[in-house]
Chain A
Amino acid sequence: GNSVTQMEGPVTLSEEAFLTINCTYTATGYPSLFWYVQYPGEGLQLLLKATKADDKGSNKGFEATYRKETTSFHLEKGSVQVSDSAVYFCALGLNRDDKIIFGKGTRLHILP
């Protein structure tokens, strides 16, 4: 079946550190891939997406590249800020299905 696996949290980093949150997927077909973010006290919101292999999604300094050969969509940021503290969800969607499948989420703490 279709699924998403992302690294366990929480992840704790100091401000200005480099961030990687790993995400791998299993899918029949060619999914679109997403990262959603949930800031404290707020609803989930789309951070970035990629719809085909080798596409790179980017937003707010975050990037993720759709790697079909490794079935991965790792989230990266070169220099994190305290305001990036949130829960990050990797997700996939297939055109023939009507739902987006989410990973378990990774909680990120950034220390000043």
Chain B
Amino acid sequence: GAGVSQSPSNKVTEKGKDVELRCDPISGHTALYWYRQRLGQGLEFLIYFQGNSAPDKSGLPSDRFSAERTGESVSTLTIQRTQQEDSAVYLCASSLTGGLANEKLFFGSGTQLSVL
């Protein structure tokens, strides 16, 4: 596609429910990143994919969070048993090859998650 696409753009859920967030990276981009942005805070790194493998999961805040990527394209971020502190904008980004500090990231518009 023309850019990184994320869905849904907004998600309201009840505490304790599971949610799935989707990211479609730019076609041909092998690297994919998930970040979280809480209100008034900076971007918090969650996980990085190189192809379908995740060499860096260090940012996942708890075992309620998991992510997968299939076919070197679409990625889903799953949050189980959501808590109110999970409310944030979840951003996805992709880059051509990844693993290079000077490579440009292309971001999606994010999913605004609200846990009631």
| Chain A interface residue bracket vs B | 20 to 34
| Chain B interface residue bracket vs A | 20 to 34
B25 at the interface (CB under 8 A from A): no
B48 at the interface (CB under 8 A from A): yes
| Partner pick for B107 among A44, A98, A99, A101, CB 8 A cutoff | A44
| Partner pick for A32 among B43, B59, B99, B102, CB 8 A cutoff | B102
Task: Establish whether residues A43 and B3, one from each chain, have CB atoms under 8 Å apart when the complex forms.
Answer: yes
Q: A30: nearest residue on chain B (CB-CB)?
A: B101
A98 and B56 in contact (CB under 8 A), knowing A31-B101, A32-B101, A44-B91? yes
Residues of A38-66 whose CB lies within 8 A of B:
41-46, 49, 51
Task: Establish whether residues A98 and B91, one from each chain, have CB atoms under 8 Å apart when the complex forms.
Answer: no
Residues of A within 8 A of B102 (CB): 32, 49, 51, 93
Residues of B within 8 A of A49 (CB): 102, 104
The complex places the Cα of A103 from the Cα of B55 at a distance, in Å, of 23
Residues of A within 8 A of B31 (CB): 98
B33 at the interface (CB under 8 A from A): yes
Question: Which chain B residues have a beta carbon within 8 Å of chain A's beta carbons?
Answer: 3-4, 31, 33, 35, 40-43, 45, 48, 50, 55-56, 59, 91, 93, 98-102, 104-110
Contacts A/B (CB < 8 Å), 23 sampled: A4-B42, A36-B105, A43-B91, A43-B108, A44-B105, A46-B104, A46-B105, A89-B43, A92-B101, A93-B100, A93-B101, A93-B102, A95-B100, A97-B56, A97-B101, A98-B31, A99-B48, A99-B56, A99-B59, A100-B45, A104-B42, A105-B42, A105-B43
Known contacts A43-B106, A44-B91, A98-B98, then 15 further A-B pairs from the complex at CB < 8 Å, ordered by chain A residue: A31-B101, A36-B105, A36-B107, A43-B110, A44-B107, A51-B101, A89-B42, A97-B101, A98-B55, A98-B56, A99-B56, A101-B45, A104-B41, A104-B42, A105-B43
